[in-house]
Amino acid sequence: MNKDFSFSGISSVALHTTPKDYDTYAHLTPIYATSTFIFNSAQEGMQRFEGDNKEKIYSRWGNPTFKAAEDTIAALEAFGLKDNDGNNLQLKALLHASGQAAMTTLFLSNLKAGDAVLSHYSLYGGTYELMYKVLTQMGVQIIIADLRDLNLVEKTIKENKNIQLIHIETPANPTIQCIDIEAVTLIAKQHQKIVSVDNTFASPYLQQPFKFGVDYVLHSTTKFLNGHGTAIGGVLVGKNIEQMKTKVWKWHSLLGGNANAFDAFLLSNGLKTLELRMERHCNNAMQVAKFLQQHNTVAHVNYNGLKEHPDFLVSEKQMKHPGAVMSFELKGGLNAGKNFIDNLKMCTRAVSLGTIDTLVSHPASMTHFSVPKEEKIKYGITDGLIRISVGIENVEDILQDLAQAMEHL
């Protein structure tokens, strides 16, 4: 595509950000399954080492197949946004082996002993454990507050001068709580704090945190970005390009959490249909939520697209659609939860989320089986709670499967 062509939507961005490779005539960026790259001369080697892009030196440092996915994700997160000077926002993305690896780079490149991170109590389990088991050992303090309470956010920042980074995850598991990115970022920036957002549940099609002035966005690309459940992966996107190319890239390459070319290729392929998939995912999810809400075996539905959800307005303000992940409480408790899962005939029994097929899990007997009861209650994980990541099947079939599974609880 020509440099002066301006895209009107994210499907075009996803399909045409990566330049066609006129050296190989390959329509798609090939899988560069190579650990190292050739220099024709010492001079050329020097230029590549000094250059901005390190994708043709050594694959722990970068690789053309990673770069195709990185450039596309950066373009999706930046689509339609302007920087402070009114120019199109430029972002830089670094692909990682997993969402956890991306989070590790984020934390370690921005925090040192004596600093603190402020975050919310409803967090992805891996993030929570990374904070409490790894960061605390390195002398980083973890401060948890309800980030939906803006007065508390302000008070906590004022009282804890060592807070450097505010990490927001929205929407978040399992009750799909949403945090007002704009409001929290406004407070954080008054106190010169760094803000990062885990945008995994939303994807850039539904939510663009850089619109509100955040510094970093990260994703587990394992979920909606890949979309097909074919690979684990993560990405860290930043708006301070210089810092992304120096300090953040340095930590990323030293920690060794690089992606691999095959998984990067699968991710690039998945990204092309992001808009189409998200539209269908969200449309199906709304119908599933309404079905669950009126069903007599269901005590409660947690879906940010329902007016009854406590964060409905925040979600409506910052998201294009409310997403495709929800949870619901069966009246019959643990046994009803287990029976429901066992009765499913079409939907997939699995953890994870964001794949094209509907995934259903029962936290009490699966992910949170070994967590003490008081801890579970704190995070909203009750015995009859079912989590569902609504897929792109024909919605009648999802509804049919859920309805029949609820017949004998």
Ligand X SMILES: *Cc1c(COP(=O)(O)O)cnc(C)c1O
Residues that bind ligand X (CB under 6 A): 98-100, 124, 126-127, 169, 198, 200-201, 220, 222-223, 232, 234
Which is closer to ligand X, CB of 169 or CB of 401? 169
Q: Mention every residue, 6+ apart, whose C-beta is less than 8 A from residue 47.
A: none
What does the block give as tokens for 73?
Answer: 């994700």
Which is closer to ligand X, CB of 116 or CB of 172? 172
How would you classify residue 91: left for phi > 0, otherwise alpha for psi between -120 and 50, otherwise beta? Answer: beta
Provide, rounded to whole angstroms, the least separation between the CB of residue 201 and ligand X: 6
Provide, rounded to whole angstroms, the least separation between the CB of residue 40 and ligand X: 37
Which one, of 357, 368, 313, lies nearest residue 125 by Cα?
368
Residues 65 and 59: their CA atoms lie apart, in Å, by: 10
Provide, rounded to whole angstroms, the least separation between the CB of residue 392 and ligand X: 18
Which is closer to ligand X, CB of 91 or CB of 218? 218
Which one, of 187, 223, 189, lies nearest residue 205 by Cα?
223
Provide, rounded to whole angstroms, the least separation between the CB of residue 290 and ligand X: 24
Which is closer to ligand X, CB of 220 or CB of 361? 220
In this structure, the number of other CB atoms found within 10 A of the CB of residue 408 comes to: 10
Q: Mention every residue, 6+ apart, whose C-beta is less than 8 A from residue 110.
A: 164, 165, 194, 196
Residues 135 and 50: their CA atoms lie apart, in Å, by: 33
Which is closer to ligand X, CB of 13 or CB of 274? 274
How would you classify residue 114: left for phi > 0, otherwise alpha for psi between -120 and 50, otherwise beta? Answer: left
DSSP 291: H
Provide, rounded to whole angstroms, the least separation between the CB of residue 382 and ligand X: 20
Which is closer to ligand X, CB of 63 or CB of 199? 199
Q: Mention every residue, 6+ apart, whose C-beta is less than 8 A from residue 29.
A: 18, 21, 64, 65, 67, 68, 265, 268
User: What residue number has its CB nearest to ligand X?
Assistant: 99
Buried b / exposed e over 61-77, threshold 16 CB at 10 Å, is bbbbbbbbbbbbbbbbb
Helical (H) or strand (E) element with 303: none
Residues 346 and 368: their CA atoms lie apart, in Å, by: 24
Provide, rounded to whole angstroms, the least separation between the CB of residue 227 and ligand X: 13
Handedness of CA 79, 83, 88, 90 (dihedral sign): negative
Helix 333-343 to helix 395-405 angle (10° resolution) is 130
DSSP 89: P
Which is closer to ligand X, CB of 200 or CB of 358? 200
Provide, rounded to whole angstroms, the least separation between the CB of residue 123 and ligand X: 8
Which is closer to ligand X, CB of 223 or CB of 321? 223
Provide, rounded to whole angstroms, the least separation between the CB of residue 5 and ligand X: 33
Provide, rounded to whole angstroms, the least separation between the CB of residue 364 and ligand X: 19
Which is closer to ligand X, CB of 293 or CB of 352? 352
Provide, rounded to whole angstroms, the least separation between the CB of residue 96 and ligand X: 8
Which is closer to ligand X, CB of 103 or CB of 118? 103
